[in-house]
Structure 1
Amino acid sequence: MQESEFPELKSRLSENIKRFRKAKGFAQERLGLEAGVDRTLVSKIERQIANPTLEILAKLASQLDVTVVDLLSPVRPTKRER
């Protein structure tokens, strides 16, 4: 992966977390609480300000019932959005 691809990856991560979170009906605060991370970190990830660790990604993915790969994959509609 080239450095020039990082903005696209951050954008995917941001959009996927936001969409999966909303599909589950979670506020940022609830996702953070359930995943054991600060709500402000969830907000920063969604605004592409923070770069989460793999551990944080795994915790968020677990609470959203998706895989880490799903969080980093190209944006696809969720079941609710179809």
Structure 2
Amino acid sequence: METSYTIEDKELLQKVGERIRHFRIEAGLSQEKLSFECNLDRTYIGSVERGERNIALINLNKLAKALNVSISELLEIEI
């Protein structure tokens, strides 16, 4: 069952994914290393970074902790 998102929804997911990728690269982590740090699957990390997943708040918190940033920093995007 596929969820249909509006264009705005897709853009939002992509922007959040880009922020996560930015901080991951800045931290010098591969997707695999980040997945170990936050106990999430590597393929999930990749799909979040590509804007294919509507990330849950709990997982956003796990990523923020693993990247040593706040949730608000991950969500610091232009809408």
Alpha-carbon distance in structure 2 between the residues aligned to 1:61 and 1:33: 14
Pairing partner for 2:21 from 18, 21, 29? 18
Task: Report deviation, 1:59.
Answer: 0.2
Counterpart in the other structure of 1:80: none
* Residue 44 of structure 1 pairs with residue 31 of structure 2: no
Match of 2:58 in 1: 55
Moved over 3 A (4+): none
SS in 1 for 2:40: coil
Structure 1: give runs of 5+ residues left out of the alignment.
76-82
TM-score (norm 2): 0.82
Q: Structure 1 stretch 65-74 or stretch 27-36: which is displaced more?
A: 65-74
Percent of pairs with identical residues: 37
Question: What value does the CA root-mean-square deviation take over the aligned residues?
Answer: 1.6
Q: How many residues align?
A: 73
